[in-house]
């Protein structure tokens, strides 16, 4: 799973690159400067997609976050405020940058708040490597099930190979039975987890019948 | 008919409205921050509301193929409540956001001293943030209120072409157009302005700097009044290009002055998948 910030130098226009460099210097000199710089990133640097994980604005915002010369509790406070006052694009950037600024799970409250919401773009951003590493088992399973409900492809959820277990398989099998009983479609991407972990006698028959 | 509704309060509308609006040709809209009917008693209620105008509502709109932008301000009515005044100090943080295309709705309700101060301060914020301003004109004592509003706009030093005065009628349109400001009209089922009156106003004053909106909200209103006005214009003999100017190019030109009206988003940016959300998202799942 990608966690580093992609090389921005090659994708940014010279003017945007200069703006970002100056922004980083200003944040190093005065961390409170990030409050005004963070929301301006999209207009200054652009928003195109770089790869499967990052857009330009998210990567540039991650650069600003990693420039913060702060330690706890100031870091948690500053990043928490950027998320609290951020629009969805800013919040996605904060969520994607979490593994770059913290390896102890201090920002799980942001992940949890996002998972309570309904915006699938935010939910997807919250379920990256950070959540995969730090979310407790029961919350991780609920998050995966929520993705299935919201039809977020499970290929976009980090850590599923390592964290899928028998309990998750049971939950997904129950979900599949509910859908089948209602005459509704069952997303195909849940079958590998069910097959790998649910006992053969606890699989929805219709799933085994499928390819 | 492509339609940009420059003033509509979608927070108060249903997904049925979004569907009907899309079918009618609405592809973009601006939702101004306003009064919710029920008084708010703390600044925090405003911040959650502003967050919703920047977050949940554009997300909802996108599911129906409609691009959602907003304007942010402390509305005139609540500017009279000292408990709400701290909102003015927090506005700069919101005026820095990408989808905020103007300061608004500002203006007068009862023309009090408090409203004077809030209007003047927020016009200054528009200047500082290089944003247009959406100015509501009062429903009571409208003619005097509009004249006083134009005085305050002039004194503020903001360029008139960056200002729209809204909810105008036959008696207030001339002074607004003569001032160089834009003229906004809210076409309503019973009050404010009707389609036929709107057609006569455009026949008399032309379509330059004219914005037509539904201003649909939680009251008796109709989110399809923009299209109905377009049809009334066609029936009265206006060319389709003139209708397109009023219902699309004019609002795009006005809010485009913000430099933030990004109407052509990158296609692969994460956004709700329309087919998926019909079954998956709570707002479309009914009682599930």
How confident is the model over A106-118, as pLDDT tens digits? 999 999 999 999 9
Nearest CA in chain A to B262: A43
- Report which of residues A207 and A210 the model is more confident about: A207
Map residue B184 onto helix, strand or coil.
Answer: strand
A5, pLDDT greater than 90: no
A151 and B280 within 8 Å at the Cβ level: the answer is yes
pLDDT at A13 over 60: yes
CATH of the domain at B94: 3.20.20.140
The pLDDT value recorded for residue A200 is 77
Rounded to whole angstroms, the Cα distance separating A136 from A111 reads 12
By percentage, how much of chain A surpasses pLDDT 90?
Answer: 83
Q: Is A116 inside any structural domain?
A: yes
Instruction: Give a yes or no: residue A210 inside a domain.
Output: no
Identify the pLDDT of residue A206: 67
Number of domains in chain A: 1
CA distance B51 to chain A (A): 7
Assess whether pLDDT exceeds 50 at residue A54.
Answer: yes
| Cβ distance of B59 and A121 shorter than 8 Å | yes
Q: What is the pLDDT of residue B199?
A: 96
b/e B119-158 (16+ beta carbons within 10 angstroms → b): bebbbebbbebebbbbbbbbeeebeebbebbbebbeebeb
Residue B41 distance to chain A (closest CA, Å): 20
**Chain A contact present for B83, CB below 8 A:** no
Query: Is the pLDDT at B88 greater than 50, yes or no?
Result: yes
Question: Can you tell me the distance from the alpha carbon of B163 to that of B187, in angstroms, rounded to the nearest whole number?
Answer: 19
Indicate whether A211 belongs to any domain.
no
Residue of B nearest to A149 (CA): B280
Domain assignment present for B245: yes
Q: Is the pLDDT of residue A1 over 50?
A: no
User: pLDDT category, B267, cuts 50, 70, 90?
Assistant: very low
Which ipTM was obtained for this model? 0.82
User: pLDDT by residue (tens digit) across B101-120?
Assistant: 999 999 999 999 999 999 99
Q: Which chain B residues contact residue A182 at CB under 8 A?
A: none
Higher local confidence (pLDDT), B127 or B282: B127
Mean pLDDT (whole number) for B95-102: 96
Query: Counting beta carbons within 10 angstroms of the beta carbon of residue A185, is it exposed (0 to 12), middle (13 to 18) or buried (19 or more)?
Result: exposed
Percent of chain A with pLDDT over 70: 96
In this predicted structure, the answer to whether residue A209 has a pLDDT above a threshold of 60 is no
Tell me if B287 is assigned to some domain: no
Lowest mean pLDDT among A122-131, A191-200, B73-82, B248-257: A191-200
**B195 has pLDDT over 70:** yes
Domain-embedded: residue B221: yes
Q: B109, B76 in Cβ contact below 8 A?
A: yes
Quote the domain boundaries for residue A66: 14-163
A39 vs B96, B268, B271: nearest CB: B96
Average pLDDT value over all residues in chain A? 92
pLDDT of residue A198: 75
According to the model, what pLDDT value does residue A3 have? 52
Residues with Cβ < 8 Å from A162, sequence gap 6 or more?
A: A132
Q: Is B140 in contact with B110 (CB distance < 8 Å)?
A: yes
- Which of A36, A88, A184 has the CB atom closest to B55's CB atom? A88
Which backbone phi and psi does B151 adopt, to 5 degrees?
-60, -45
**pLDDT bucket at B287, cuts 50 / 70 / 90:** very low
With a pLDDT cut of 90, the percent of chain B lying above it is 87
How many beta carbons lie within 10 A of that of residue B184, not counting itself? 27
In the predicted model, what is the mean pLDDT of residues A1-9?
70
For residue A2, is pLDDT > 80?
no
CA pair distance B135, B132, nearest whole angstrom: 10
Residue A208 covered by a domain:
no
**pLDDT at B270 > cutoff 80:** no
Between A148-157, A199-208, B179-188, B228-237, the lowest mean confidence (pLDDT) is in A199-208
Q: What is the largest CA-CA distance in chain A?
A: 63
Q: Is residue B277 in a domain?
A: no
Is pLDDT at B40 greater than 60 in this prediction? yes
Domain range for B235: 3-262
A174 within a domain of the structure (yes/no): no
**A43·B259 Cβ contact <8 A:** yes
Q: How far apart are CA A204 and CA A191, in angstroms?
A: 10
Inform me whether the pLDDT recorded for B282 exceeds 50. no
CA distance B127 to chain A (A): 17
In the three-class reduction of DSSP (H, G, I as helix; E, B as strand; rest coil), residue B91 is classed as: helix
Total number of domains in chain B:
1
Q: Quick count: other Cβ atoms within 10 Å of Cβ A178? A: 12
- B72, B146, B76: which is closest to B114 by C-alpha? B76
Does A158 score more than 50 pLDDT?
Answer: yes
Determine, yes or no, domain membership for A159. yes
How far apart, in Å, are the Cα atoms of B255 and each of B29, B148, B231, B236?
10, 24, 24, 28
Most confident of A202-206, B171-175, B190-194, B261-265: B171-175
Specify if A96 maps to a domain. Answer: yes
Region B6-25: mean pLDDT is: 97
Predicted confidence (pLDDT) at residue A211 exceeds the cutoff of 60: no
Residue at B278 is within a domain: no
Q: Compute the mean pLDDT over every residue in chain B, rounded to the nearest whole number.
A: 90
Is pLDDT at B266 greater than 60 in this prediction?
no
- To the nearest whole Å, the CA of B96 is away from the closest chain A CA by 6
Region A189-199: mean pLDDT is 89
Q: Is residue B78 part of a domain?
A: yes
């Amino acid at each position: 799973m990608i966690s580093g910030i992609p090389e921005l130098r090659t994708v940014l226009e010279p003017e945007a690159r200069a703006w970002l460099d100056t922004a980083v210097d200003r944040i190093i000199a005065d961390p409170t400067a990030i409050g005004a710089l963070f929301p301006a990133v999209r207009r200054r640097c652009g928003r195109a997609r770089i790869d499967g994980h990052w857009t330009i604005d998210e990567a540039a915002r991650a650069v600003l976050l990693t420039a913060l010369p702060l330690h706890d509790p100031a870091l948690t406070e500053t990043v928490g405020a950027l998320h609290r006052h951020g629009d969805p694009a800013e919040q996605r950037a904060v969520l994607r940058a979490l593994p770059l600024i913290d390896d102890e799970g201090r920002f799980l409250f942001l992940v949890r708040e996002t998972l309570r919401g309904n915006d699938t773009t935010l939910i997807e951003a919250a379920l990256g490597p950070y959540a995969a590493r730090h979310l407790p088992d029961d919350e991780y399973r609920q998050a995966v099930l929520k993705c299935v409900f919201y039809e977020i492809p499970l290929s976009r959820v980090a850590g599923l190979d390592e964290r899928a277990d028998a309990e998750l398989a049971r939950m997904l099998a129950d979900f599949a039975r509910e859908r089948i009983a209602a005459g509704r479609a069952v997303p195909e991407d849940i079958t590998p987890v069910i097959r790998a972990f649910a006992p053969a006698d606890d699989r929805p028959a219709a799933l085994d019948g499928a390819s | 008919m492509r339609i940009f509704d420059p003033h509509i309060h979608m927070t108060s509308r249903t997904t049925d409205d979004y569907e009907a609006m899309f079918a009618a040709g609405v592809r973009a809209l601006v939702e101004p921050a306003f009064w919710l009917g029920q008084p708010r008693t703390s600044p925090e209620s405003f911040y959650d509301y502003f967050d919703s105008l920047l977050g949940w509502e554009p997300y909802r709109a996108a599911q129906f193929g409609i691009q959602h932008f907003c304007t942010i301000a402390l509305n005139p009515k609540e500017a009279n409540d000292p408990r709400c005044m701290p909102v003015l100090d927090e506005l700069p943080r919101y005026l820095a956001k990408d989808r905020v295309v103007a300061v608004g709705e500002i203006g007068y309700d009862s023309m009090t001293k408090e409203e004077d101060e809030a209007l003047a301060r927020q016009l200054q914020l528009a200047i500082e943030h290089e944003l247009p301003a959406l100015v509501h004109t009062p429903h009571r004592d409208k003619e005097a209120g509009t004249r006083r509003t134009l005085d305050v706009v002039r004194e503020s030093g903001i360029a008139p072409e960056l200002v729209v005065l809204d909810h105008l009628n036959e008696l207030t349109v001339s002074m607004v157009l003569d001032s160089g400001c834009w003229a906004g009209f809210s076409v309503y089922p019973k009050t404010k302005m009707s389609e036929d009156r709107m057609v006569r106003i455009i026949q008399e004053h032309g379509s330059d700097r004219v914005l037509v909106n539904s201003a649909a909200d939680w009251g008796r209103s109709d989110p399809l009044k923009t299209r109905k006005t377009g049809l009334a214009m066609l029936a009265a003999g206006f060319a389709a290009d003139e209708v397109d100017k009023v219902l699309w190019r004019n609002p795009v030109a006005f809010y485009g002055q913000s430099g933030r009206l990004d109407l052509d988003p990158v296609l692969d940016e994460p956004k709700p998948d329309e087919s998926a959300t019909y079954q998956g998202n709570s707002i479309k799942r009914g009682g599930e």
